[in-house]
Every structure is written in C-alpha cells, then in structure tokens.
Amino acid sequence: MTDIDSSAPVLVTGASGYIASWIVRFLLEGGYTVHGTVRDMRQGQKFGHLYELAKKEKGSLRLFEADLLHEGAFRKAMEDCGVVIHTASPFRLKVKDPRQDLVDPARKGTLNVLATVNELDTVQRVVLTSSVAAIYGDAIELADKPNGMFTEDDWNLRADLDYQPYSFSKTIAEKEAWALAEAQDRWSMVALQPGFVLGPSLSDRSDSTSIDFMLSMVNGNFKSGVPDLYFGIVDVRDVAQAHIRAGFNPEASGRNILTADELGVLEMGAILRTEFGKKYPLPRRILPKWLLYILGPFRGYSWSYIRRNAGYPVRFDNSCSMEKLGMTYRPVSETLIEQVHDFERKGMI
C-alpha cells in the first residue's frame, strides 16, 4: 500500500470516550488535524477536556455531532479525512435491552461509518476498535487451544443476545466490518482487539466500565472478596498509541490483540497494596465458587458465566501487535497504580 497522507485530517469517532480522548491527545501532540465526533454537542461537560487539550498542543481540533444510528451522520466530519479511527461503541455490561443498547449501536454504527468511507475517496485507512471479547467467549475455551493462547485466528462463537450481549455486539460488528472491507480495494482496514483497558483518564467522567471497576477495587465493594476471574489487561495510553500506529503504518493489517499481561482480580488488588498499603479496603481473598452461584446474579454474573470463567486463567498472544505495530507495553503494575493516583488527584476516592 502507498504511504498514508499524514497531512489530511484524521477522524476519531466517539472522540470524548475513554480510549478516544487519549487518541485525540496523541494526535494533537503530533501536530495532526483532528476531526472528532460526539453524540450531542449540547453536552459540553462530556467533551470540554478535548478543547482544553487542543489549546495546549500543536495540532487542531474540530468536533462534529454524529449519531451512530443516523444514516449519513458522519459524512461532514469525514470529508477530506485520510484516516478514520472508529472507536464509538457502547461498553456496558448491564443493559435493559441488549439489542437496542449494545448490538444496534455497535453493528449499525460501524456499517454507517463504513458506508460513508465507501463514498469518500480521500479515506485510505480505517482503524476499527474491536475487543478480545470478539476473540473468545469464555476462559474455559483456552483448554482447547493447542498453543495454550487465544490468537487473532480465534472468534467468539458463543456469545449471543442472551449470553454476553456486549461480546456479541463487538463480534458481529467486527465480522460485518471485515465483510465490507474485503468487498473493495480502495481503502484498507486494521482491527484492534484490546483486553481490559485500564489506566488514567483524561476527563473527570466516571461512566466508564473500566473506571467503575477500578473504583470498586478501592472503595470497598470487593472488600469481602472477589470472583476468581482473569483478564488480559492493557494500558489505555498503549491502546491509543496502537490506534495511531495502525492508522499510519502502511504495512499494518488484519487483527491485532492488545494486551500487556494476564492477571486475576485478586492479583490486581495485591499490586495496589504494594503502593497504597492499608489506605484502601482492597480485596484479600477469593470468593468460593459456590458462593458466587448465590451472589453472582446480583452482581451481573450468570451461572453459566461463572461455570465457564471462574477459576480459569486466560492467556493471549500479543506478538502480532508487537511485530506489525511495533508495540511495547507498560507493566500492568504501572497502569493500576497510576489509575488510582489519578482518582486521588480528581477527588474520586
């Protein structure tokens, strides 16, 4: 592929989000012209931090209103752009209507964005924010992997509207995006599959699932114990840098798992104790599985999820991202500790 025009504007959808805000910051630091979309321009409290970033950096920023479900809503923001970074997609584990709240925004929103990409000749590269949720359904599946790791060749075949609807939304959105990308040869697509994204936030918002989880770690919600669950973890700043590298490296391609390490929830608490000692009521024990079957449904864990995930570690092969995107990852300990210090600076705990 020919070099990607770095002088053209870069579109970041869902620009005020947890990951997207860092993408915008790094692009502005690099002197890029950034077009960002937000759902409602009247809600300035959700994206005011982006304008503050733009005042300090070399690049320039324009924000546009765009709704994932409105056909053609991204056209104005995408005009003249060479790279489109599509991050906008809801990340919520508890919803009333999975199709309306998760699947439609993820799937239809992605198809909406890519339909506009097909209409505008300036776009050379699309970067799609997917998730390891599109790689696997349950941790127990790792036992069937001959190399003992989940890789980019794997797809989540278990999730549906009733079981892990968030995972289903990411899986179906990515699959349909690949179908559109492979049906043409003018623009290329790179998909990124981050693990559990943690680390400091650029805004004061607390409506992120990642932020809510970490607040629960330090505010006593897990004081009585934590489920024996494991995650592939990655720093939000590394995820943001991976998006930019995927956008401008002509050789970047395919799917790319983004994880720094795999840890259990109890291990995460132990790391935080090395920095904060007894300052916070951090978890110190694993809840027995029988107790999870009783308490789990009240915390959003179905019996099926507990049976197929509690007590089963996960492991991911992140070599593609290191080889194709040149990624190196921050230690998870740094990510966790800096996120809690960020909470402290903002008075969130």
User: Which residues have a catalytic role annotated?
Assistant: 170
Q: How far apart are the C-alpha atoms of 181 and 115, rounded to whole Å?
A: 10
269 burial type by CB count under 10 A (0-12 exposed, 13-18 middle, 19+ buried): buried
Three-class DSSP category at 278 = coil
| Among candidate residues 214, 234, 199, 240, the one with its CA nearest the CA of residue 12 | 240
State the amino acid at position 176 in one-letter form.
E
Question: Cβ distance 68 to 108 under 8 Å?
Answer: yes
Helices 48-56 and 18-29, packing angle to 10 deg = 20
State the amino acid at position 113 in one-letter form.
V
Question: Cβ distance 15 to 24 under 8 Å?
Answer: yes
Question: Cβ distance 62 to 36 under 8 Å?
Answer: yes
Q: How far apart are the C-alpha atoms of 78 and 36, rounded to whole Å?
A: 9
Q: Which residues pair with 257 in a beta bridge?
A: 193
Question: Cβ distance 81 to 10 under 8 Å?
Answer: yes
